[in-house]
Structure 1
Amino acid sequence: MINRMTWRTRVKQIINALLAALMVFFIYAVYYSAVSLYHDKSGLNDKFLRSVMTMVEFHESGLMVDKRGSSLVEVTPFLTQKKTLKVYRDVGEWQVIVGELHAKKGIWGDLTYSIHEAGPYLNRDERNPFVLHSALIDDGKIKDSQHPNDAMDQLGKLEDGNVAELFFSLRTLRSPEEVLELLSDYDVKATNMAVYAGELKEFKLGNYSASGPDYVIPHLTLRPRILFGDHHSLSAWHTFFSLDAGITDDVQHLITDVEWMTNNIKYSGVDDDKQRLAYLKKNGVQVYGATVTGPVRELEKLKERPEFREFRLGRIEVWNWS
């Protein structure tokens, strides 16, 4: 009799525990569904994606974020937003995947990301290929040799049926429109430009490297404009700059987007970007380097331009050019 009562008590306890577990699971499922639905319908996920695209494309020297993928964002029970996206570079007319982006925004609003590059080579840094000469900061004149030959020697050994990505720096600060004018005689397309915004002159940076008079610094990147609609939804984007269509809108979008970024995102380096923004509003947008892509024979011709220096060769692909 006692054993039977003990057995019934245990069964009852097990059933109660199972019911409690089911209730907790049901409450959790309802809570998680409500959280996910709210983030999706309120535009918070679109704002998160816009924040990620803006931060990465302005700070990563020409890396672009895949915009054709899924817009779904993972939201954890602790209200952390997460997203994994492909990053690519334009080589010829192909978007070549070069890595994977992992972005996260915590409950307190801090946005962080990391990029795992799928580089084909060991010990080769492709993250910042542009060089800022100290003379550009001091309004002086560059006296070094015009064209180091490494990249041009490499281009000369490539067969005609290839396209490539080429980086170059400038001997003077120039407007983006002037750079496109210099490139207009060649069958190449410009994909992004390195913006000078007062670094090392108006304000000091926490991290940069120097080799003699040349500096490699964190910088803002001028990209072809990206348009967002209501509630931060992505509506349209451009792949290349076009002199015919004008670059004024791209420049204006840089100012507008940096202003939006510094006002709406909490991230490491926001104070530097606020100083960059103030400099650009006062002095206008000037660049000291650009990335172009096109047939290797056309890229090779850029050595004719004395304004271009410090050529660096990027990705190479088989012919894919209209």
Structure 2
Amino acid sequence: MTDKFNKDDEKLYRAILQETKQSLQHGPSEEEQRKIIKTGKNNARLTNILISLAIILLILPVLTLTTFMYYGFGKADRLIDVAAYTVYVTEPNISLKPMEIEDEIGLFSMHVLFDVYKRIGKEDYKAGDYDILFSLNQPDFPKKNDYLDRPWPEIPSKETERLLHPAAPIPFSVDEEWNKLNGLPDGTVAELYLSLSDLLDPDEVRYFMPEDVEVRWLAVDTGLEAEQQDEEGLPLTPIGYPAQIDSTTWSPFNGREKSNQEVFLDLIHTLKKNEDVAVKIARAKSLALKERIAYLEKNDIKIYGAVVTGPTPELRKLKDKKEIRAMKVGEVKLWN
């Protein structure tokens, strides 16, 4: 009986081996196996990509919404105001139209774009445009397009200054500037940068102007203009304010509640709170607002320079005025 049992087991074993062998012979080839593995990898990679895209598509709207919320609660308005105020206070005879300022909000960033204008004669000419990129609340240096014939240098220095304190040296030939003005055709209007012989009250500047000459911008003495640099030796540019009321509703100098002098003081206090932003936007890489404000709080506003415009024949009448120490010719246009 044992022999019979062993023979039966052997037959069963051989049958199992034969069946297994046949199964292996009919399985996938090596090439097919490689294809199966490759397909599996591709499917896994595609699945990972789709999952990643889904996560990104979910995150981007959240980040974009977060950016809009960041700028939406007054942050964008504050940064735009600082940019506009910096131009008003640091750029002589330059204005802008606040209602035309554009902002483009991106991912954790905002572009502020606006045009600036200069009054020559009786018309405002486009002087340039600004594109300021803010990464959250930190601005890059502005990208500027300048359309002026005699633009201010981008990097200020004592040698290139046009408005000079009575105690500051004159870095150019005043006679050459008057000769340049005399050589202009009578059918032109021009812009002049006047440096005064003494510090004057703002209203006194208008007293010695010919009838058709308009005072556009007043340079304010803040105690640092004689040296033309801050305590660290960095060059300072003039700060001041428009001499004329701007009837534009949204201009800070619209004259409705405060005089231009009062608005100027308000603006520089606002800029002091945001001085890191204002310095990036201004040509000068130092505004020294703490020292300047402290000086103005102890002293009345005095003017040491002015930007004026008018018909060239009328501007020539300023040559013999004792109140004027130096003059620099700015922009010139045909009579308008």
Q: Which of the five TM-score ranges fits, normalised by the shorter chain?
A: 0.7 to 0.9
Deviations 1:163-214 (A, max 9, x none): 111110111101111112333x421222211111011679746234xxxxxx
Selected match of 2:179 from 153, 167, 173:
153
Q: Quick one: structure 1 residues 164 and 40, their matched pair in 2 at CA, closer, same or farther if it must change by over 3 Å?
A: same
More helix by share: 2
Return the offset for 1:27. Answer: 2.9
Secondary structure of 1:198's partner? Answer: coil
Question: Which of 300-309 and 5-14 deviates more?
Answer: 5-14
Instruction: Give the C-alpha shift of residue 86 in structure 1.
Output: 3.3
Counterpart contact for 1:193–1:291, Cα < 8 Å: yes
What is the Cα deviation at residue 265 of structure 1? 4.2
- Are the counterparts in 1 of residues 166 and 199 from structure 2 also a CA contact under 8 Å? no
- Could you tell me whether the CA contact under 8 Å between 1:188 and 1:295 is conserved in 2? yes
**Higher-RCO chain (CA-CA 8 Å, sequence separation at least 6):** 1
Change (3 A) 1:119 1:238: same
> Cα 1:51–1:158, aligned 2, differ >3 Å: closer, same or farther?
same
User: What per-residue deviation string (whole Å, max 9, x for no partner) do you get for residues 223-243 of structure 1?
Assistant: 25899xxxxxx952278x9xx
Alpha-carbon distance in structure 2 between the residues aligned to 1:103 and 1:171: 38
Task: Find the partner of 1:222 among 224, 241, 252.
Answer: 241
Aligned residue in 2 for 1:103: 132
1:113 corresponds to: 141
Instruction: Quote the sequence identity (%).
Output: 20
Contact 2:120 2:332 (8 Å CA) reproduced: yes
Distance 1:74 1:23 in 2: 24
Shift of 1:258: 0.8
Does structure 1 conserve the Cα–Cα contact (< 8 Å) formed by 2:97 and 2:251?
no
Instruction: Tell me what 2:317 maps to.
Output: 301
Structure 1 contact 224–238 (Cα < 8 Å) conserved: no
1:92, distance to aligned residue in structure 2 (A): 2.1
Q: Compared with structure 1, are the counterparts of its residues 82 and 308 closer, same or farther at alpha carbon in structure 2 (3 Å cutoff)? A: same
1:171 alignment partner, SS class? strand
State the Cα RMSD in Å: 3.7
- 1:82 maps to which of 104, 107, 111: 111
Give secondary structure in 1 for the equivalent of 2:306.
Answer: strand
- Unaligned runs of at least 5 residues, structure 2: 1-31, 280-284
Does the C-alpha gap of structure 1 residues 88 and 271 become closer, same or farther in structure 2, counting only changes over 3 Å?
closer
8 Å Cα contact 1:45-1:73 kept in structure 2 = no
> C-alpha separation between the residues in 2 aligned to 1:122 and 1:62?
13
1:292 equivalenced with 2:302 (yes/no) = no
Task: Specify the alignment match of 1:249 in structure 2.
Answer: 259
> 1:1-322 maps to which residues of 2 (within 5 A)?
1-65=32-96, 67=98, 69-75=100-106, 77=107, 79-107=108-136, 109-111=137-139, 113-114=141-142, 116=144, 118=146, 125=153, 128-134=161-167, 148-183=174-209, 185-199=210-224, 204=231, 206-208=233-235, 217-223=236-242, 236-237=250-251, 249-267=259-277, 268=279, 272-320=288-336
Q: Give the CA deviation at 1:281.
A: 1.6
- Residues 103 and 111 in structure 2, CA contact (< 8 A), matched pair in contact too: no
State the 1:91 CA deviation: 1.5
CA contact (8 A) 1:194 1:220 kept: yes
Q: Which amino acid aligns with 2:116?
A: V
Q: TM-score, normalised by structure 1?
A: 0.74
Query: How far is the alpha carbon of 1:133 from its aligned partner?
Result: 2.5
Give the CA deviation at 1:116. 3.9
Q: CA deviation at 1:39?
A: 4.2
Cα distance between partner residues in 2 of 1:163 and 1:115: 29
Q: 2:163–2:238: 8 Å Cα contact kept in structure 1?
A: no
Secondary structure of 2:141 counterpart: strand
- Relative to its length, the structure with more strand (as a share) is 1
Bigger mean CA offset, 12-21 vs 166-175: 12-21
TM-superposed CA distance for 1:315, in Å, is 0.8
Q: Distance in 2 between matches of 1:124 and 1:37?
A: 36
Shift of the 94–36 alpha-carbon distance from structure 1 to 2, 3 Å rule, reads farther
Question: Matched residue of 2:217: which SS?
Answer: strand
Q: How far apart are residue 65 of structure 1 and its match?
A: 4.3
Equivalenced residue count is 289
The higher radius of gyration belongs to 2
Cα pair 2:218 2:243 within 8 Å, conserved: no
